[in-house]
């Protein structure tokens, strides 16, 4: 039954990409950025509802009050699954700028919609050039009051394992001391594995941490503080479906 429900969700999610993504791509030149972001958020929320309906996979989020209402800030989130991309897109305020790998832009419809939402699309093999791009474009987004969303691990990491946190987002934070860092921890990978199709029923827990001030701190200090908070919080969350 879990496999059947998971396949049904996959089909519906694929349809949702076309339903929401195609208008974003086709109207990207005609609609303002804010309208495109609202469409993207509606897509995220729709998928969370589909997961609840098809797979009986729900979520509980705490700490939303830590997200500034209008100020630009840097969101650094744990990355275990596809779920958090849906949740962050759908549940946080719409004006978001995502740091992502440019290969995603090549996916038909989905990639076109991503481009319409004005991400920071980097070549992960470009080294310092990619970091400079994150700092330049990220600073511009922060000054516009947007949420700059970064997965500091760079790729999805299975529950119970760790990967070194990259410095790109922390360097942006170091260069933008008036904009706080908001860490986010969750256990989505317990219910939806990074390379699996199965979605287990239960309730994913997502915790939004208090703002981390970056004033007077180096990038290494910032990312160490972010990593310590995220990993310690994740370790306290349930690690089996239920």
Domain positions in the chain are 2-235
Tens of pLDDT along the chain (242 residues) come to 999 999 999 999 999 999 999 999 999 999 999 999 999 999 999 999 999 999 999 999 999 999 999 999 999 999 999 999 999 999 999 999 999 999 999 999 999 999 999 999 998 777 889 999 999 999 999 999 999 999 999 999 999 898 999 999 999 999 999 999 999 999 999 999 988 899 999 999 999 999 999 999 999 999 999 999 999 999 999 999 87
Count the residues in the chain: 242
Range 2-235 has CATH code 3.40.50: no
Tell me the three state secondary structure of residue 100. strand
Compute the CA torsion angle 184, 205, 63, 122 (nearest 10 deg).
30
Question: Looking at residue 59, what is its pLDDT?
Answer: 98
CA distances from 147 to 9, 75, 118, 223, 226 (A): 29, 7, 12, 18, 17
Report whether 123 contacts 177 (CB < 8 A).
no
Question: Looking at residue 183, what is its pLDDT?
Answer: 98
Query: In the Cβ-directed half-sphere of 99, how many Cα atoms lie within 13 Å?
Result: 34
- Give 48's contacts (C-beta < 8 A, 6+ positions apart): 59, 86, 87, 90, 91
Strands 120-122, 96-101: pairing is parallel
Instruction: Name the pTM for this structure.
Output: 0.94
Helices 83-91/33-54 angle, 10° precision:
130
User: Could you tell me the sign of the dihedral formed by the alpha carbons of 231, 232, 237, 240, in that order?
Assistant: positive
Question: Looking at residue 124, what is its pLDDT?
Answer: 79
Q: What are the residue ranges of helices labelled H in the chain?
A: 2-26, 33-54, 83-91, 110-116, 128-143, 168-175, 219-235
């Amino acid at each position: 039954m879990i496999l059947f429900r998971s396949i049904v969700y996959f089909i519906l999610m694929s349809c949702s990409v076309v339903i929401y993504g195609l208008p974003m791509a086709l109207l990207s030149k005609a609609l303002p950025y804010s309208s495109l972001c609202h469409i993207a958020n509606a897509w995220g929320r729709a998928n969370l509802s589909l997961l609840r309906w098809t797979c009986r996979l729900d979520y509980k989020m705490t700490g939303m009050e830590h997200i500034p209402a209008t100020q630009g800030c840097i969101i650094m989130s744990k990355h275990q699954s596809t779920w958090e991309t849906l949740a962050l897109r759908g549940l946080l305020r719409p004006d978001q700028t995502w740091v992502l790998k440019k290969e995603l832009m090549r996916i038909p419809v989905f990639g076109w919609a991503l481009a319409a939402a004005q991400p920071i699309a980097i070549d992960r093999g470009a080294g310092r050039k990619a970091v400079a791009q994150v700092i330049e474009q990220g600073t511009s987004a922060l000054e516009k009051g947007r949420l700059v969303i970064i997965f500091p691990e760079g790729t999805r990491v299975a529950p119970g394992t760790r990967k070194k946190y990259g410095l790109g987002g922390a360097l942006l934070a170091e260069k933008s001391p008036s904009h706080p860092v908001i860490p986010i921890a969750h256990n989505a990978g317990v219910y939806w594995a990074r390379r699996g199709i199965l979605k287990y029923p239960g309730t994913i827990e997502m915790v939004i941490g208090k703002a981390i001030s970056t004033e007077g701190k180096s990038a290494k200090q910032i990312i160490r503080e972010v990593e310590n908070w995220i990993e310690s919080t994740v370790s306290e969350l349930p690690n089996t479906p239920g």
